[in-house]
């Protein structure tokens, strides 16, 4: 639990946009933006913004081009600069805080103390499952000889980016669900030890859909409280640990990552009532929530699967809803790409 000696780099003027705050959060270890106003020789703390504030803003329909006060916590918990490190650590643990801004008289910001990891759950409690059994037909000819998750993005296989990002968040136990060209994965990753993780492989004899392969997992005598599932052909900056935290805090049965997709009509539209014209809308934008292909499931949710039977993830969620189970959405603001076509691959690789 260190001091952030570069806390001034986390500061953002109160008139700045939420998009600017997102950049600071994504690039910092402490995962917070300090919203301030400045006067001569002093910086006044006006509020804080965390990724949770951003996700709630998305849920409330707030534009990311809005100014920071729209979503910031204007009354964050702060401490004085007289407290010892032991006192600061105790406060973080006691209140389940991630950050403690340090202020002096009149709310003048003088530092930041933070926890490097969240305290509610450890990655050791979660099995990280990557669905990597698809044929990748949309990405031919790249997938003629290798499966899509093994196609290189920014110098390494897509799936390696997922594993390395998950490991950096504290996840060490992985299961890869395979079908098409499984030896491409097993020969590259082995048991995972060269990558600092453990990897087990589940090979489907026939394709079992986007979640059916999980029915082949043997979780007996294993103390996993949840299973994080991701498609193997995604490139993203998703905070996997935070997603698990959100799932647990909400006591969810199943959680789905949601990404907002904006589609702008290239034409102006005419509003009508019957054959009467009532108005005009210039190039309207339709906002939809799409399934981002990342999920957290409580281990009881796996009980909705029949061993070896094909099932897709949306059907599992619908089953859970029909049973009255708590299913929640986790809104993404981070970089996220579904690498489905060659144009997607070229865009990510900067071609």
Residue pLDDT, tens place only, 40-55: 778 899 999 998 899 8
SS3 195: helix
Torsion of CA 256, 297, 227, 134, to 10 degrees: -60
Q: For position 350, what pLDDT does the model report? A: 72
Q: For position 88, what pLDDT does the model report? A: 86
Asked if the model's pLDDT at residue 230 lies above 60, the reply is yes
Residues 113-155 pLDDT 10s: 987 654 445 567 899 999 999 888 888 888 888 999 999 998 8
Q: For position 262, what pLDDT does the model report? A: 83
Q: Which of these CATH numbers, 3.40.50.2300, 3.40.50.1820, 3.65.10.10, 3.90.550.10, describes 123-348? A: 3.90.550.10
Q: For position 119, what pLDDT does the model report? A: 45
Least confident of 129-138, 196-205, 247-256: 129-138
Q: For position 120, what pLDDT does the model report? A: 47
Asked if the model's pLDDT at residue 272 lies above 60, the reply is yes
22-26, 63-67, 87-91, 159-163, range with greatest mean pLDDT: 159-163
Mean pLDDT computed over 196-220? 95
Helical ranges in the chain per DSSP H = 18-27, 51-59, 85-95, 158-168, 183-189, 240-249, 313-322, 342-348
Evaluate whether 28 touches 10 at the Cβ level (below 8 Å).
Answer: yes
- CA 233, CA 206: separation in Å to the nearest integer? 20
Q: Count the neighbouring beta carbons within 10 Å of the beta carbon of residue 177.
A: 25
DSSP assigned state of 205: S
Of the candidates 25, 48, 13, 116, the residue with the CA atom closest to the CA atom of residue 335: 25
**Vertex 246: Cα angle to 245 and 250 (nearest 5):** 115
Q: For position 83, what pLDDT does the model report? A: 84
> What string of DSSP letters covers 281-305?
ESS-EEEEEEEEEEEEEEGGGGGGS
Asked if the model's pLDDT at residue 332 lies above 50, the reply is yes
Evaluate whether 340 touches 231 at the Cβ level (below 8 Å).
Answer: no
Mean pLDDT computed over 293-314? 96
Going by pLDDT thresholds of 50, 70 and 90, the confidence category of residue 92 is: confident
Strand partners, 141: none
Domain boundaries, the chain: 7-114, 123-348
**Vertex 160: Cα angle to 174 and 229 (nearest 5):** 40
Question: Of residues 56 and 5, which shows the higher confidence score?
Answer: 56
18-27 and 51-59 helices, crossing angle to 10°: 140
Mean pLDDT computed over 103-120? 76
Evaluate whether 239 touches 334 at the Cβ level (below 8 Å).
Answer: yes
SS3 224: coil
> What string of DSSP letters covers 64-130?
TTSBGGGT-BSS---EETT--HHHHHHHHHHHT-SEEEEE-GGGBEEEEEE-SS-SS--GGGEEEEE
Asked if the model's pLDDT at residue 209 lies above 70, the reply is yes
Q: For position 117, what pLDDT does the model report? A: 53
Q: For position 257, what pLDDT does the model report? A: 97
Q: For position 3, what pLDDT does the model report? A: 64
Domains 7-114 and 123-348 agree in fold: no
Strand partners, 226: 126, 298
Q: Please state which architecture CATH assigns to domain 7-114.
A: Roll (3.10)
Give the whole-number percent of the chain exceeding pLDDT 90.
Answer: 60
Which pair of tokens denotes residue 83?
A: 């407290």
Residues 11-64 pLDDT 10s: 999 999 999 999 999 888 788 999 999 877 788 999 999 988 998 898 888 988
Q: For position 123, what pLDDT does the model report? A: 64
- CA 177, CA 179: separation in Å to the nearest integer? 7
């Amino acid at each position: 639990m260190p001091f952030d000696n570069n806390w001034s780099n986390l500061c953002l003027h109160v008139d700045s946009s939420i998009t600017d705050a997102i950049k600071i959060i994504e690039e910092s270890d402490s995962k917070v933006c300090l919203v301030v106003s400045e006067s001569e020789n002093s910086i006044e703390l006006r509020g804080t913004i965390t990724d949770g504030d951003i996700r709630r803003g998305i849920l409330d329909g707030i534009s990311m081009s809005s100014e920071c006060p729209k979503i910031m916590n204007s009354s964050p918990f702060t401490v004085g600069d007289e407290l010892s490190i032991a006192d600061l650590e105790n406060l973080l643990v006691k209140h389940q805080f991630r950050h403690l801004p340090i202020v002096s008289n009149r709310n003048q910001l003088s530092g930041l103390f933070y926890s490097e990891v969240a305290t509610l759950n450890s990655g050791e409690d979660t099995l990280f499952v990557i669905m990597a059994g698809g044929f990748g037909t949309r990405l031919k000819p790249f997938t003629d000889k290798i499966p899509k998750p093994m196609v290189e993005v920014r110098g390494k296989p897509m799936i390696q980016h997922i594993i390395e990002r998950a490991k950096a968040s504290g996840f060490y136990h992985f299961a890869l669900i395979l079908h098409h060209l499984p030896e491409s994965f097993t020969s590259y990753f082995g048991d995972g030890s060269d990558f600092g993780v453990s990897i087990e492989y589940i090979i489907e004899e026939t394709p079992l859909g986007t979640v059916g392969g999980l029915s082949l997992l043997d979780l007996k005598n294993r103390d996993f409280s949840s299973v994080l599932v991701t498609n193997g052909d995604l490139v993203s900056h998703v905070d996997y640990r935070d997603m698990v935290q959100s799932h647990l805090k909400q006591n969810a049965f199943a959680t789905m990552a949601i990404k907002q997709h904006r589609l702008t009509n290239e034409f102006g539209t005419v509003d009508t009532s019957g054959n009467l014209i009532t108005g005009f809308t210039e190039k309207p934008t339709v906002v939809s929530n799409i399934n981002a292909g990342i999920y957290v499931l409580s281990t009881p949710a796996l009980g909705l699967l029949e061993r070896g039977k094909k099932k897709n993830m949306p059907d599992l969620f619908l089953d859970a809803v029909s049973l009255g189970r708590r299913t929640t959405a986790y809104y993404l603001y981070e970089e996220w790409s579904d690498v489905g076509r060659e144009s997607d691959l070229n865009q990510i690789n900067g071609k």
